[in-house]
A and B are shown apart, each in its own frame.
Chain A
Amino acid sequence: MKQNGSPSKNGTALTLTLDGEKVTFSRGETLYEVAERHGREIPTLCYDPRLEPFGGCRLCVVELEGARNPVASCTMEAQPGMRVRTRTAALEVQRRILMEMVASENRDTDVDPMHGYASQEMADLLDRYDARTGRFAGATSGTSRPDDDNPFIKRDYENCISCYRCVRVCAEQEGDYAISVMNRGFHTQITTEFGGLLKDSACTFCGQCIQTCPTGALGDLKALANKDVPGETETTRTVCPYCGVGCSVDIMTRGEKIVGILPAMDGPANEGSLCVKGQFAFDFVGHPDRLCTPFLRDEASGELRPASWDEALDFAAGKLRKVVKDHGRRAVYGIASGRAPHEAAYMMQRFIRAGLGTNHIDNCSRA
């Protein structure tokens, strides 16, 4: 992750000229970051704000006074006094041609948004630059891997534009170095150690490569399995149900069905990272094994049988009252869950303390 520096040492604000407007910046900021902060929408394909700048796609080029050619704004550090133009007719033509060429490399230019968080970036730019002209007869670089039978990550490299975002997120963000690049030019191939299956590599199936891919060359197979579920996709911000790191996620739903998980790029604990469980292990929610009614132990048969809430609550309260009557209020013990929200744990201790007046309450952290 990059970190921005502070204003200049002597405390005076650093300034440069952006499209004729004088703007301030912090030491260490790139031209791209300064421009973004000032509301410029500079197109990128190889850029992920969490990763080191790469300068591969050249879409973010800007005109810098004194430089012979346009420069990549994502790799150019801002300096005091720079005069920068982010939107000129020449730049727009250059960006359009670049997009036409990029599009010519891929089998599909439009992929289902269920592929992943960034999967629409290329298609959106093709629209923005009206670049679906088919003027160039390109060739796909990259060979897809339908032989990889993993249930999570689609490896459709015929839609790969060699932005290396997957390679970089795996190395820089995850520290796993499971993915690398083989060959160059039209022969470029995103691959793993010895070109095998992801399962046999250092891949942990965290899904970060899927979420940063701007073309859908990589896709979330679990979400894609739900692409025909009717309805608009809605998202709900919440926190992952597993360990204590507290990663923020956006649950994607259509109607009453969870259709996939997106990492929250602004999640304070995870800043866009997830692991295999947070990314993919959500089907327990709608699982047919879920309990749908209360159960109580039938006194005649000794078996658990479904019951109404009224019946089950009365049955439980009756049994608890009998225990209190026979053995006293200290004979009842409450165990709260580390998996349920505060309100559950709070109510359990309230039940024991305010109801029975004892401190016979614990949670599952001692196991």
Chain B
Amino acid sequence: MSNPLADMDKPDVIFCIGTNMTECHPVAATRLKRALARGAKMIVADPRRIGLAEIADVHLPLRVGSDVSLLLAMAHVIAREGLMDQAFIDERTAHGEDFMQHVAQYTPEWAAEICECDPEDIEKAALLYGGADRGAIYYTVGVTEHICGVDNVQSLCNLALMTGNLGREGTGVNPMRGQNNIQGAGDAGALPNNYPGFQTVTDPAHQEKFHKAYGRKVDLETGMTKVTALDLCGDGIHAMIIDGENTLVTDPDRHHCEHALKSLDCLVVIDIFMTDTAKVADVVFPATAWAETDGVCTNTERRVQRLRAAVPPPGEAKPDWWILSQLAQRMGWQGFDFGSSKEVFNELCALSPLYNGLDWDRIDRGEYQWPVPTRDHPGTPRLHEKRFENGRGIFKMLEYRDPEETISDEYPMWLTTGRRLPQYHTRTQTGRSDGIDYLLSEETLEVHPEDIVRLGLEDGGWAEMSNPRGCLHVKVRATTKSPKGTVFASFAFEDVPVNVLTGGGYDPVTQTAALKACPVALKPVGPPPVLGQVGAGSPLGAPVL
């Protein structure tokens, strides 16, 4: 996030797009609700009538994957009405004039044809955000998990740049990160293009720095992403070490993933449970879990916080860092004899300019938000206050692109996927916690009541959902939370493995999978033979017909 969580109750206009925050980041959502209680206005762009939409002033139920068109039209209205922050544009941005000309063609009426929102609502949303003194944008993977994920984010940046909604209290462009240390995994350098601290690997100066630190030259070219690596399994990639990810269940196109991992000569999995991914490994190492591990994590607002062990691990489980450092030593490599989490973290701090001012002891109370470049630096709750890291904020001239796969007569419905409040990811943790199933014990496909009738389905009955990648059976629930033409299911339950269907392309820049827009066909089927036993023995959870 560009701004701290504490800023979330300070905007006068909130724009949430592709974020089901009341279910996925519930505590952050409480701050937005407090802002609304104080009189802030809220725009929610989401295909579904999610919890935030229920309390929004404007809900824009855009068609999945059409974000760029909506955001271009909002920019059009802001430019047309002269609601820009011209001083900000002049002082801190580049190509502002070109951008205003670029968006002149993208009227709300044009966008409405694509995003299926009411042009008057688009107009209203643009006037609200454009007229705000403090306008703040919040988004999650509903924005990024598309073939145009980068374009979507840049469209949001364009809006913030043209209205000067950056670098001040209660403003910003704020991605909500979905896992407790997904920010930290990037910070720590687990990226193919960056060393720790987002230092690019293609810069010889960075290479030299790490050569010196690690005593070994590292390739000067960017590594491949996980997506490419999975594509190349058995053909260039022959071994994988996977830590704490149930790749088979969470990644798009399960059949492809399964084939990929089985083509490896060696798969090493580190996890706390025997997940589906661990089951196909050659070696599985037992890791210590949360509450058993001393360590550090960084949250969505870049706050660096301590994780502390409260109980001993079961059996012989060991911390992930220990497992990897031992494995490195067995490979015969020098320099991996670390004695504690503290030693490991302190080495990271020494090598990352974002963490140079930190160490294990200094983060004890969690008051620092990176960058913390020096020991006397107070941390950076708010980014971009005086300047942008790379000079000027550059407007991007974007165009709308269709998703890689679009609906057709054969596959006439959009499937979009996500999480539900009580369950997390593939239920490896919440599914093993007493009581959670009381709130949600099975997956259902959310379908608009008119679609139920049109497709011959039945509320509470079963549907077969398919596309060329796969097929599954799922119980149907009639709800106006889904718009007509779009259905929703979470990926939490193994007997509704929606990721056998997803996989319609990737963003060309980040290779983020397009998990949010997937054409499918639906038809009624009978209930499974024994309720609750659907395909229990099959590796795919449900029968593939």
Residues of A within 8 A of B (CB): 1, 150-152, 172-175, 199, 204-206, 221-222, 234, 236-248, 251, 253, 256-258, 267-270, 273-278, 280-287, 289-297, 304, 309, 312-317, 319-323, 326-327, 330-355, 357-367
Contacts and interface: CB of A to CB of B under 8 A. Distances in A.
B190 interface: yes
Contacts, number: 496
Given A269-B299, A277-B424, A337-B243, A362 B286 contact: no
A343 B344 contact: yes
B300 A246 contact: yes
A293 B17 CA distance: 44
B216 A351 contact: no
Contacts of B311: 251, 253, 256-258, 285-286
A341 B293 contact: yes
B271 A291 contact: yes
Contacts of A236: 291, 308-310
A292 B335 CA distance: 28
A319 B511 CA distance: 29
B398 interface: no
Given A244-B180, A285-B291, A347-B325, A353 B210 contact: yes
Nearest to B196: A346
Interface stretch (B103-111, B220-228, B402-410): B220-228
B250 interface: yes
Contact of B438 (A151, A175, A285): A151
Given A245-B28, A353-B210, A359 B366 contact: no
A331 B318 CA distance: 26
A342 to B, nearest CB: 4
Contacts of A346: 188-190, 196, 321, 344-345, 347-348
B216 A304 contact: no
Interface string B217-254: 11101111111010000001111111111010011100
Interface in B280-326: 281-287, 289-293, 295-301, 303, 305-312, 314-321, 324-326
B9 A1 contact: yes
B320 A243 contact: no
B179 A342 contact: no
Contacts of B221: 359
Contacts of B250: 364, 367
Report, nearest first, the 8 A-B pairs whose CB atoms are least far apart.
A292-B315, A341-B295, A246-B299, A175-B33, A359-B223, A337-B244, A244-B177, A338-B182
30 contacts: A236-B291, A253-B310, A253-B311, A269-B301, A276-B439, A283-B433, A285-B311, A292-B315, A294-B285, A295-B278, A295-B284, A296-B283, A297-B283, A309-B326, A316-B266, A331-B236, A331-B239, A332-B237, A336-B243, A341-B181, A343-B321, A343-B341, A346-B188, A346-B321, A347-B324, A347-B338, A349-B190, A354-B215, A359-B218, A364-B179
Interface of B: 5, 9, 22, 24-30, 33-34, 36-37, 55, 176-193, 195-196, 201, 210, 214-219, 221-227, 229, 236-245, 247, 250-252, 265-266, 268, 271-274, 278-279, 281-287, 289-293, 295-301, 303, 305-312, 314-321, 324-328, 330-331, 333, 335-336, 338, 341, 344-345, 347-348, 366-367, 421-422, 424, 428-430, 432-436, 438-439, 510-513, 515
Contacts of A304: 274, 279, 281, 284
B18 to A, nearest CB: 15
B192 to A, nearest CB: 5
A325 B507 CA distance: 34
A358 B432 CA distance: 38
A339 B425 CA distance: 11
Contacts of A333: 224, 226, 229, 237, 239-241
B395 to A, nearest CB: 26
Given A246-B305, A294-B285, A316-B327, A341 B315 contact: no
A143 to B, nearest CB: 23
Contacts of B242: 335
Contact of A349 (B188, B238, B424, B434): B188
B229 A362 contact: yes
B274 A291 contact: yes
Given A269-B27, A366-B511, A366-B513, A314 B341 contact: no
A304 B301 CA distance: 41
Contact of A353 (B218, B240, B281, B422): B218
Nearest to A308: B316
Contacts of A289: 273-274, 432
A328 to B, nearest CB: 9
Contacts of A150: 435, 438
Contacts of B266: 316, 319-320, 322-323
A284 B283 contact: no
Given A175-B37, A358-B219, A276 B319 contact: no
A199 B440 CA distance: 11
Nearest to A364: B245
B243 A243 contact: no
A143 B185 CA distance: 50
A351 B422 contact: no
A297 B281 contact: yes
B283 A244 contact: no
A150 B435 CA distance: 8
Given A291-B274, A297-B282, A337-B245, A365 B185 contact: yes
A292 B272 CA distance: 8
Given A323-B239, A332-B241, A291 B284 contact: yes
Nearest to B511: A366
Q: Which of A150, A239, A274, A326 has the most CB of B within 10 A?
A: A239
Contact of B223 (A247, A322, A326, A360): A360
B436 A355 contact: no
B284 A1 contact: no
Contact of B297 (A286, A321, A341, A354): A341
A176 B22 CA distance: 10
Contacts of A348: 190, 241, 243, 320, 324
A323 B265 contact: yes
Given A323-B265, A360-B224, A281 B182 contact: no
A143 B476 CA distance: 38
B369 to A, nearest CB: 9
Given A245-B27, A343-B341, 8 more contacts: A173-B30, A248-B305, A291-B286, A312-B285, A315-B282, A341-B320, A354-B218, A363-B191
Given A239-B180, A291-B272, A344 B319 contact: yes
Contacts of B28: 245
B243 A316 contact: no
A283 B432 contact: yes
Q: Which of A257, A304, A316 has the most CB of B within 10 A?
A: A316
B429 A241 contact: yes
Given A283-B432, A322-B265, A347-B321, A332 B240 contact: yes
Contacts of A204: 22, 26, 421
Contacts of B330: 313-314, 316-317
A367 B25 contact: no
Nearest to B438: A151
Q: Which of A199, A247, A248, A253 has the most CB of B within 10 A?
A: A247
Contact of B190 (A243, A292, A345): A345
A359 to B, nearest CB: 3
Contacts of A294: 283-286, 316
A199 B439 CA distance: 7
